[in-house]
């Protein structure tokens, strides 16, 4: 994982970045109309509006996907911070304290013994 956070939070981060990027593109494109660049300004605004809208629709898709993954994720209590978190796949991180969680001892971080509390939980 690139940002060292839980997988669901990573999907939500990409959705947020697509939202902000799409909005920024639409605002930049609007400069063609606001500063009265003539006909070329209207064309630039239209192009940037379409690209920004595609980014916004992409963020909707990513947020929907993250929501669907979240409904099927296993809820468990983090052994470090004691808060309820969700886990996707064989390994994941706690949403709050970023502790590496795993049901399978083979995927546990090196140097740590497997957590018996997580191994007993059903998947």
At residue 3, what are phi and psi to the nearest 5 degrees?
A: -95, 0
Out of 72, 89, 108, a domain closes at 72
pLDDT tens-digit series, residues 38-75: 899 999 999 999 999 999 999 999 999 999 988 888 88
Tell me how far apart the alpha carbons of residues 8 and 15 are, in angstroms, rounded to a whole number. Answer: 11
pTM over 0.95: no
Domain count for the chain: 2
pLDDT tens-digit series, residues 75-104: 889 888 889 998 888 888 888 888 888 887
| Segments forming the whole domain that contains residue 100 | 75-119
Q: CB-side exposure of 43: number of CA atoms within 13 Å?
A: 3
Tell me how far apart the alpha carbons of residues 103 and 114 are, in angstroms, rounded to a whole number. Answer: 8
């Amino acid at each position: 994982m690139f940002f060292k956070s839980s997988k669901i939070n990573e999907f939500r981060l990409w959705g947020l970045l697509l939202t902000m990027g799409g909005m920024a593109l639409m605002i930049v494109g609007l400069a063609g109309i606001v500063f009265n660049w003539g006909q070329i300004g209207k064309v630039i605004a239209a192009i940037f509006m379409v690209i920004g809208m595609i980014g916004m629709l992409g963020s909707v898709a990513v947020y929907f996907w993250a929501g669907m993954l979240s409904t099927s994720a296993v809820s468990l209590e983090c052994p470090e911070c004691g808060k309820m978190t969700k886990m996707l796949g064989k390994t994941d991180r706690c949403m709050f304290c970023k502790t590496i969680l795993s049901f399978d001892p083979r995927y546990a971080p090196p140097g740590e013994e497997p957590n018996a509390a997580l191994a007993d939980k059903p998947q």
